[in-house]
Amino acid sequence: MKAKEVMTTRPEYMDADVSIRDVAKNMRDIDSGFEPLVKNDKVVGVVTDRDIVVRGIAEGVDPAEKAMDIASDKPLYTFEDEDLSAVLKNMQQQKVQRLLVLNNDTDKDLVGIITIGDIADHCQQDENLAQELVASARHYA
């Protein structure tokens, strides 16, 4: 099974010049803790709810400042044609529970987001994948 078969398509994203406050409001409105930031149609950063707390509030950063000031500027990703076993291994190595999904190595256009939950939802169809997911979950505890 490939990433494109289980990913969330048409992901939400915001312009890289948006404020921390606007990212937080959008996260609240769409019930998400993860927001890709885009400039010139390319992902340049990712902000999580944890980034807002740890890199923003805890450091006394004004919520009116740009979200890129607290964003992870090296977004982690996989490609839509990547096998789910490889996606899980990537998540395990990076110690993350979600990855951006890009269309290919040339364009690198954002086409989705894949999470541990997305993969878990499809484990009934693949017993080996279920075992890999359980094994990788030990690394998040």
pLDDT at 48: 94
Q: Which residues of the chain are modeled with pLDDT < 70?
A: 123-141
pLDDT at 2: 92
In terms of residue numbers, what domain contains 72?
A: 3-137
CATH number at residue 17: 3.10.580.10
Q: Tell me: the pLDDT tens digits for 40-49?
A: 888 999 999 9
pLDDT at 26: 95
- Counted domains in the chain: 1
Largest CA distance in the chain: 48
pLDDT at 92: 87
Enter the tokens of residue 96: 């993350």
What is this structure's pTM?
0.81
Enter the tokens of residue 132: 């890999």
The rounded distance, in Å, linking the Cα atoms of 113 and 102 is 9
The continuous run of DSSP H or E covering 15 comes out as strand 14-15
